[in-house]
């Protein structure tokens, strides 16, 4: 069967362009007026036709068109009472017969099933990817959460040696690093916070009794870090690329 007019099979029913039908029928009346007159036969928008815009390359402008159903096209062809109308109506009836043949119905059912399976596979792939992304994000956040939990669960004061151990360092190395980062300075053998950190609640200092190597009794100040201070050090060190062992690969 020769193709007299282009039709669309993209949906669950055959459709075609009203403008192309108008042209095939060789109607001399302007398209807009003609289509409005055809509409007086009871056709309904969104049921029998849908409006759409098409670009006219010759006029270089958009024109109004309508995607109409095959049933509407058959009725319009019959209304014309012309040889062209009769010819295109027979063509539409042949298209409809082939469309409704058992083979065509089966092919559409198979194609629909194939698309459904493909859509499910794509959905599964998307969900699998989203789950993997969430797993990665959770795994990235978990070490930090664990370390935060470890800090927040403890209500006691801690020595710098205990914090240093969390990072795989000794106290001297940690104290030196905090000095480099502008947190503390050493005076008289004691590590003291710079003034801008002294009123933040990061530390608690107290004097303890000690015995010198020569047997003399003495006192020295011991700086202990609060959990607030410990979190401050965590954020500061983390910004500088220093992570606790629990977060290291």
pLDDT digits (tens, 9 = 90+) for 42-97: 999 999 999 998 887 777 788 999 999 999 999 999 998 899 989 989 998 988 88
Beta strands, E only, 104-216: 158-159, 184-187, 190-193, 203-211
The model's confidence at residue 211, banded by pLDDT at 50, 70 and 90, is confident
Q: What is the pLDDT of residue 152?
A: 65
Beta strands, E only, 18-104: 49-56, 61-69
Mean pLDDT of 201-221: 78
List Cβ neighbours of 8 (8 Å cut-off, separation of 6 or more).
14, 15, 16, 67
- List pLDDT tens digits, range 92-130: 898 888 888 888 778 877 877 888 888 888 888 878 767
60-69, 90-99, 152-161, 193-202: range with lowest mean pLDDT: 152-161
Share of the chain above pLDDT 90, in %: 39
Judge whether 15 and 70 are in contact, CB under 8 Å. Answer: yes
The gap between the terminal CA atoms of the chain, to the nearest Å, is 70
């Amino acid at each position: 069967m020769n193709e007299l007019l282009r039709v669309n099979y993209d949906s669950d029913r055959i459709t075609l362009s009203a403008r192309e039908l108008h042209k095939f029928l060789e109607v001399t009346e302007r398209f807009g007026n003609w289509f409005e007159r055809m509409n007086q036969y009871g056709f309904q928008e969104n049921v029998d036709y849908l409006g759409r815009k098409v670009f006219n390359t010759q006029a270089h402008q958009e024109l109004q068109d309508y995607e109409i159903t095959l049933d509407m096209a058959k009725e319009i062809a019959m209304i014309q009472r012309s040889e062209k109308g009769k010819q295109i109506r027979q063509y539409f009836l042949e298209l409809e017969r082939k469309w409704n043949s058992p083979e065509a119905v089966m092919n559409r059912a198979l194609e629909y099933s194939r698309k459904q399976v493909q859509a499910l596979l794509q959905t599964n792939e998307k969900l699998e990817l989203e789950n993997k992304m969430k797993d990665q994000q959770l795994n990235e956040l978990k070490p930090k959460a664990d370390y935060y939990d470890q800090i927040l669960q403890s209500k006691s004061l801690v020595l710098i040696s205990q914090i240093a151990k969390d990072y795989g360092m000794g106290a001297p190395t940690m104290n030196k690093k905090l000095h480099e980062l502008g947190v503390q300075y050493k005076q008289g053998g004691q590590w003291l916070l710079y003034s801008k950190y002294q009123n933040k609640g990061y530390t608690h200092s107290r004097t303890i009794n000690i015995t010198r190597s020569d047997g003399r009794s003495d006192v020295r100040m011991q700086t202990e870090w609060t959990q607030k201070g410990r979190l401050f050090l965590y954020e500061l060190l983390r910004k500088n690329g220093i992570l606790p062992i629990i977060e290291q690969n």
